Structure 1
């Protein structure tokens, strides 16, 4: 008697409820996102097309006039340039400090836990509180930084150094989270790679260039993207330390949006700036993802 070894697969036709059930689980999260993110963003787009009163209510439809005025404004283009310079300073300093701290904490020595906690502290400090402490440290009369450098200059009122100082502070505040990301990335690198390189006669610098940096590629990408986005949104420290000055040397686009909305009561114009800022961040993020994709090929 012959036995058939064929496996019979009985297909179960899903009901309508079973098909939509996974989406039902997402509804609470989508509802929260819709209320606190999507709807305010849609409102911002609509408000950018209107002239608003002092309460932010849309009173007259202007079309794209807010955008045409925006792109013809010298102050706006200056804020774009200042923002790009600020982002560059923040990313370079924050990523460098986070990476160096993570590498130092890979070594085993007495007190390593204390130093690891200290390097991660910046992410636990409020930017406003640290900005006020930094303001005292930069005081031309009693500030410790002026004492160390042997100068008597308020760097926050210097047209060149004000942006650099605020950028360094912001980068330092970001370095704590960067330290954790890089520490996690370094811990995932196989020690066998370093042992093989040592057998081949590679020194520490060669190991760093040929093993550490390539292995941290995904971590570098994630850290740079998040730091760029955070830097474009920097506001608190600028508001406390320089208020966009001296002149407009630290008037980044986020602070310019704040001035137009809450000082000049031009909510429609400020909304147009917000939309442009969103487009800039989106374009830069897409470019970074495209570069990353080509590097992986």
Structure 2
């Protein structure tokens, strides 16, 4: 028994010393730091292609626009003379700028609420799990697959004063044909109708996905409590999909400010500048009149306007959004 006890290691040999514990702790911290540095390096390697694309197609053009807005340029876009803030002063004193800004706001009023309301209505009608409903969902989503150029050409044919289908139906009803794209009273409305149709697919998919995210138990409980379809829609569905509505509103406003393709194809800013929005005005100054300094200054003003409106939407409209 004493021999066995003598062969066992001493108690102090089984317990590591304080120096050994501290050394192990330091090594553990060092390995954690190395692991974190390796993770950060790997993250930047994965983000490098995206950062490169953003730098080439977003940050560089933005900085170049800031630079060109302070100069007068020749037709080749080369800097000719430093003018400071004179380009901005000229824009803010121009009647055409305020005309284009008014047209842009009118375009937003005509397209954004109408587009969201139409998509919301179609999503509500096709949300039910009835037989054949997938066909309607596919049809209502189709405009998303149509490009701006293709859609504009389709509606240009529809709006044709003599060969267009719209005027043909008006003639059947005994109504005088409408000059959809050449009458200043109808041109902006015509472009707005085409834009609502073009954005309908995207808005519809957002609304339908938001409604499908609402639990069926909530609807069953509302039905048991005696809630009708309209009451259920306005008091249950609308609050629950308010994040989707808010996102659609912000994206639609930004997209309306940037509208260009359909206006360039259908009306080219006319007639009598009735559809000359800010983006088309920038295009005319920069690429038609070769005033790249003025065009860059207008682009920066448009950027500031969109940023301000987006911040205001997040500050005031988001308060009515229910995320839970």
Alignment of 1:89-104 (within 5 A): 89-104=110-125
Q: Is the 8 A contact 2:242 2:321 kept in 1?
A: no
Bigger radius of gyration: 2
Decide which of 67, 88, 97 is 2:88's aligned counterpart: 67
Distance in 2 separating the partners of 1:221 and 1:296:
7
Q: Is the 8 A contact 2:246 2:321 kept in 1?
A: no
Aligned to 1:3: none
> 1:56: how far off?
0.9
Q: Is the 8 A contact 2:118 2:200 kept in 1?
A: yes
Aligned to 1:227: 252
What 5-or-longer segments of structure 1 have no aligned partner?
1-7
Aligned to 2:151: 130
Decide which of 194, 198, 205 is 2:230's aligned counterpart: 205
Q: Is 1:82 aligned to residue 82 of structure 2?
A: no
What 5-or-longer segments of structure 2 have no aligned partner?
1-21
Cα RMSD, aligned residues only: 1.9
> 1:293: how far off?
4.2
Distance in 2 separating the partners of 1:12 and 1:94:
56
Distance in 1 separating the partners of 2:151 and 2:109:
21
Alignment of 1:109-258 (within 5 A): 109-149=130-170, 150-258=175-283
Aligned to 2:29: 12
Aligned to 2:14: none
> 1:172: how far off?
1.2
Distance in 2 separating the partners of 1:70 and 1:216:
41
Greater shift in the superposed pair: 37-46 or 160-169: 160-169
Distance in 2 separating the partners of 1:237 and 1:296:
32
Aligned to 2:68: 47
Report how many residues are paired. 290
Q: TM-score, normalised by structure 1?
A: 0.92
Q: Is the 8 A contact 1:66 1:272 kept in 2?
A: yes
